[in-house]
Amino acid sequence: MHDMAMTDVDGPPPAKLSRSELYKPPTNEELMDLRETEMLFHSNLVKLEIKETLKEISLHDKKRAEIDVYLHSLHETIMSSQETESAALQSMAWLDSSSVSFPFVCNPTKVKGNMKFLKPSEIKLIGSYQLDSCLKHDLNVDLLLIMPKDCFQAKDHLNQRYLRKCALYLAHVASHLANSSLVFDIQFSYFGENPMKPIVLITPPPGVLNNITVRLHACLEPGCLKLERFSPDKSNVRQTWYTGAQPTADEAMLPTPHYNSCILMDMLMESHLYFLYETSSDFQSFKDAVKLLKVWLRQRDFDKGYGSFNGFIMSMLISYLVSTNKINKLMSSYQIIRNTFQYLGSSNWNTNGISLNKNENLSNFHNYFEVVFVDPSGTLNLCADMPLLVYQQVCHEARLSLDALDDKQSGFSSVFLKQVSFVEKYDQIIKLTKTGILRKTAERLQVQDKVLDHGSNCIAATLTHITSMLRKGLGNRIQQLGIKMHSYKPWKIDEEPPKWKEVETNLTFGFLLNQESFSDVLERGPSADSPEAVVFREFWGEKSELRRFKDGAICEAVVWKSNSVSEKREIPFNICKFLLKRHCDINPSAVKFLATQFEDFLKIPQRSIKNGTKIGFVGTGEEAFQDCSIVFNDLCSRLRNLTTLPLSITNLQGVSPVLRHTEVYPPCKCTTDNQSHAIRISQQQINVPVPEKKCPAYVSPIEVICHMEGSGKWPQEAAALRRLKAAFHIAMSDELKQNHPKLICIPAQTHVDVLMDGHVFRICVAYHREVTILQTHTTPDGMVKIRNTPQSLEIAKQTVHLPLLSSSINGLRQNFQSYSGSCRLAKCWINSQLLSTQITSEAVELLVAHLYTNPYPYTAPGSAQAGFLRFLRFCTSLDFAANPVIVDFNNDLSKSDYESILQHFKQNREALPPLSIITSKERTQSLWTTEKPSKVILRRLKDLAQICLKSAESFLSSENTVDLTSICTPSLGVYDVIIHLRSCWLPRRHEQIAQHNSVRRNHNYEDDETMTLLPVVGFDPVQIYLSDLENCFGDLALFFHDDNGGSVIGVLWRPNAFQPKQFKLSTASCVEMLDGDKCAPSVHSVLEDFKIMGRGLVENIELHSDKWKI
């Protein structure tokens, strides 16, 4: 470091370039570099990203030198181990004098043979560290202890003798190293999560090496055993030894392909190292590509769990592509990665495996393994333990990553730098919470031969049958079935090893749903008289029944009864529960479904209250939203049939979130005039609230923009235009009442309210030139100028931009069923954190829409849970200050459009709002975030999202029941003042999440009552109070509230709110005089004004901090 510093300051400072030198043509070397960048790296940006990433993940030479010194010391310490006399393998006499436990679960206990400990004949450095293709983070350095021939006897390859000798050898080494100064911690672990393959994990002292683990493997000397003994069809575990039964003359020799692979992997470790060394020698782009692909695997957790697709298999795959000339030394790391993704995306190793030995016939391997990739020796399947689902996941991710690399908006960062979480990727998840039950499953499936082959591991023995059964049962309801394999926790050397069922992470399945068919209630089977019908009935059992279909055919069918859309979403889980119980003897209590728990936030159980308003809805409200849309379409039809209006209606556009299905809760439905909390004004057919009684339940008006045709008779003056619009509202109301007497129509200057089928629609007439009229300004000297005004901006937003947004959101919602639920959950969470007043509803809808239009590295969310979790992740990860959020609804933006948007953003960053959301319609401005949120709120949003995402993931990974309401419970400790509100004056109190479980459920009520009076519409005293607080004290404080029935208002003083200022008469309210002519706001006066302004609504006010003290 000192030498480098000296070099930096040596020599004269660089001279200023002359104009001729500054603009001289590029040199040949520079032209060559530019040409290579274009040909090999897709773009200069990709080249820079790869360079920086490699710099971040590669091991530095200085660190490597420190590791080498440590490894030499460790080598000497291991070689100083004391040798022992021969003893019976079963007795494990070596370990009697030490505290080390034997790291192998012996089942059965009896085993023949003797063993003595001898020093390793060699200790070899193997693995990616030796090949310089390792990652510096969480680095594993592998040492191979080669056991002398004298440690082994004839037939040690039978009945787990070799595996137990390796485990015993490592246990003796661990006992010797336990008290060494080179060892900070020492543990056992299962290599590849295989209980038949224990290894030793050594953690060096923190002052010596950090974030490094040394792994000790053991194997026999080369040439001791013939490789041919371990071909997949050979039997090396005797059934009589395993079961304890008496041998018979006709005893079958059961093949043990997985057992054989365990031993072969040890025998071939060294030769694999040499093979990879030869391939990667003088091939730097090979090593760089391997490093980047290891990052890709790690980001997706593919290198974890039993049967993983690890970095070693990826290295061998690239070597295979080199051997088949799909990759060559002239390629860059980027091209190697693309070719690898392209190959994986089109490969099919389950039916057409590959081999690094060109002369090897793969049919024998396909008979015993789901996935086939044969090593250079032609004897070992490198994917012997890999489940088919793991391989298919890798292929799916490869195709997705290739698309992301070509995407206009995504690219390198989304493929390599973003974590792909299993719970965020899959739409629905099921988890086996009781692994031990799989012993009964093995008995039901009669796979005892596989249990023997896997060393009593019933998870590995039954997995193939379980996955094929689930895939068959779910059929075209899912696009992909994913899996997260089980794993075991490392254990201390004095502890007993975990049994096969004592897993740290349980077996978990994930579904990518087919949005068109996953919730179908009817599954049609084969014709009743066909041979396939017998198989169908055998598979579905009592669920199968005969049905006659519309085409006259009589077929087998399975029906899954559901009463609501939310119940239909659980059909895949019901299928899994039924099939797991029928075919695998797995009780439903052992299966945990993770998909709809967050949707409980969107449920309000049904009940009727005294004021005549229906509270709640069926399920999560999809039926209520659909009912609103049907009524809206009926109203539009009636409006278009009006004949007495002087101008015809050209367009009717619903602009309320209700009609976009993005409101957190659908509106309450009024079905009676019995509003005990309101006074009737019969002459006007309306109700008004009574001050002395409870506030009526909130009835949300559904806003509709009504565009009239153009005409030269429209006034060109703002006041006259307002009067004409009011006349239109009156005429529209009169004709609607005349044509449809049952409708309640109440006109006003700015709108007309129509009560139809229990829903209140607020129709606002719009004129397309109104914005221009409001922008037109005449100067005193007679010049006409066009400029924006607050009124023109508001009218433009309501009549132009909001209808466009509603159309785009509705189109997105129709393409993605889960968008509505994801958006509602996001809004519910933001509201629950008291941010309703700080982030607009439209901004949240656009943020969620971004997750669907640009989903990489995922596919678009197929469930509300997946969408909500990704929304939280998005809020925690995006740098809003450096990047805009671009929402391209219809794929309208080209690559050049994206570049121009980003360029405009960078050039005008200071003028743009802290959160900039750009759409294909508004490419230079962020309409819905102009005023809020502020930078402070964005930081608060990011912090809250991190906390809640951690809680959500803890719930999804926990085996115990966790209370999810904590995710939507605000933390009040951060606020300076808490204003508590009286619950009786909260019109939306029924929307509080805490109240959802406290009301009566499943209360049926009739819909045949008719209304003759308009209910109290859009009356929310809390919103009026908040507006007054903002107007009067917005310069002193920020106000926070939950629009969904929140009972508190949080107040946060602005940083300089109580700093002394010069006294002015215009700002003399609520101030106290200080020394001289200085004054500052009086917090007690301000709080008193809070209470006075909210008289009747405010219950009490708490002062939490003393930030106001000067």
Are 296 and 857 in contact by the 8 Å Cβ rule? The answer is: no
CATH code: domain 969-1103 is: 3.30.70.3030
Mean pLDDT over 733-754 rounds to 92
Structure tokens at 297: 């695997």
Please say if the pLDDT value at position 350 is more than 70.
yes
Q: Is 326 exposed, middle or buried (0-12, 13-18, 19+ CB in 10 A)?
A: middle
User: How far apart are the C-alpha atoms of 483 and 389, rounded to whole Å?
Assistant: 6
User: How far apart are the C-alpha atoms of 76 and 446, rounded to whole Å?
Assistant: 50
For 422-521+560-596, give the CATH class. alpha beta
Q: What confidence score (pLDDT) does residue 694 get?
A: 81
Enclosing H/E stretch for 1021: helix 1021-1033
Q: What share of the chain is helix, strand, coil (3-state, %, to 5)?
A: 45, 15, 40
For residue 882, which phi and psi values (nearest 5 degrees)? -100, -15
Q: What are the residue ranges spanned by the domains of the chain?
A: 56-243+253-267, 281-420, 422-521+560-596, 835-952, 969-1103
Q: Is 881 exposed, middle or buried (0-12, 13-18, 19+ CB in 10 A)?
A: exposed
Confidence band, pLDDT 50/70/90 cuts, at residue 10: very low
Dihedral sign of CA atoms 366, 372, 373, 376 in order: negative
Per-residue pLDDT tens over the stretch 60-80 = 999 999 999 999 999 999 999
For residue 937, which phi and psi values (nearest 5 degrees)? -65, -40
Pairing of strands 544-548, 554-559: antiparallel
Please say if the pLDDT value at position 640 is more than 80.
yes
Mean pLDDT over 257-268 rounds to 96
Are 741 and 698 in contact by the 8 Å Cβ rule? The answer is: no
Please say if the pLDDT value at position 1097 is more than 70.
yes
Would you call 926 helix, strand, or coil by DSSP?
coil
Q: Which of 566, 1091, 600 is nearest to 829 (CA)?
A: 600
Q: What confidence score (pLDDT) does residue 1109 get?
A: 56
Q: What percent of the chain has pLDDT over 90?
A: 64
User: How far apart are the C-alpha atoms of 970 and 835, rounded to whole Å?
Assistant: 10
User: How far apart are the C-alpha atoms of 566 and 587, rounded to whole Å?
Assistant: 24
Enclosing H/E stretch for 841: helix 841-853
Token pair 């109290």 in the structure block, residue: 1016
CATH number 3.40.50.970 is the correct assignment for the domain at 281-420: no
Please say if the pLDDT value at position 11 is more than 50.
no
Supply angle C-alpha 613, 619, 621, rounded to 5: 60
Per-residue pLDDT tens over the stretch 195-222 = 999 999 999 998 878 889 999 999 998 8
Are 189 and 488 in contact by the 8 Å Cβ rule? The answer is: yes
Find which of 288-302, 640-654, 905-919 is predicted with most confidence, using mean pLDDT: 288-302
Per-residue pLDDT tens over the stretch 81-116 = 888 888 888 887 767 778 899 999 998 888 998 988
User: How far apart are the C-alpha atoms of 718 and 803, rounded to whole Å?
Assistant: 22
- Residue 796's alpha-carbon distances to 297, 639, 702, 792, 1077, in angstroms, are 49, 23, 19, 6, 46
Give Cα 976 distance to the centre of its chain.
Answer: 34
Confidence band, pLDDT 50/70/90 cuts, at residue 706: very high
Least confident of 12-26, 173-187, 571-585: 12-26
Confidence band, pLDDT 50/70/90 cuts, at residue 251: low
List alpha helices for 776-818, DSSP H: 790-796, 802-815
Please say if the pLDDT value at position 16 is more than 70.
no
User: How far apart are the C-alpha atoms of 1002 and 637, rounded to whole Å?
Assistant: 34
Per-residue pLDDT tens over the stretch 746-792 = 999 999 999 999 899 999 999 988 888 888 887 788 787 888 888 99
Confidence band, pLDDT 50/70/90 cuts, at residue 44: confident
Per-residue pLDDT tens over the stretch 533-573 = 999 999 999 999 999 988 889 999 999 999 899 999 999 99
Q: What is the DSSP letter of 495?
A: S
**Encoded amino acid at 359, one letter:** N
Q: Which fold has domain 56-243+253-267?
A: Beta Polymerase; domain 2 (3.30.460)
C-beta atoms surrounding 594 within 10 Å: 19
Dihedral sign of CA atoms 578, 582, 583, 588 in order: positive
User: How far apart are the C-alpha atoms of 68 and 761, rounded to whole Å?
Assistant: 76
Token pair 């629950």 in the structure block, residue: 832
How many residues are given for the chain?
A: 1110
Per-residue pLDDT tens over the stretch 972-1001 = 989 999 999 998 889 898 888 866 654 443
Q: What is the DSSP letter of 382?
A: T
User: How far apart are the C-alpha atoms of 607 and 623, rounded to whole Å?
Assistant: 16
Average pLDDT, the chain: 88
Confidence band, pLDDT 50/70/90 cuts, at residue 1008: very low
Confidence band, pLDDT 50/70/90 cuts, at residue 1058: confident
Name, in order, each residue with C-beta under 8 angstroms of 889's C-beta and a sequence gap of 6 or more.
Answer: 808, 811, 812, 849, 853, 919, 920
Are 146 and 280 in contact by the 8 Å Cβ rule? The answer is: no
Structure tokens at 723: 């009067």
Name, in order, each residue with C-beta under 8 angstroms of 553's C-beta and a sequence gap of 6 or more.
Answer: 527
Mean pLDDT over 466-491 rounds to 96
Q: What confidence score (pLDDT) does residue 29 get?
A: 55
Whether pTM exceeds 0.75: yes
For residue 646, which phi and psi values (nearest 5 degrees)? -65, -25
Q: What percent of the chain has pLDDT over 70?
A: 90
Mean pLDDT over 1040-1049 rounds to 93
User: How far apart are the C-alpha atoms of 774 and 796, rounded to whole Å?
Assistant: 10
User: How far apart are the C-alpha atoms of 326 and 339, rounded to whole Å?
Assistant: 7
Per-residue pLDDT tens over the stretch 664-686 = 999 877 765 545 555 656 566 67
Query: 422-521+560-596 and 969-1103 share one CATH topology?
Result: yes
User: How far apart are the C-alpha atoms of 24 and 29, rounded to whole Å?
Assistant: 14
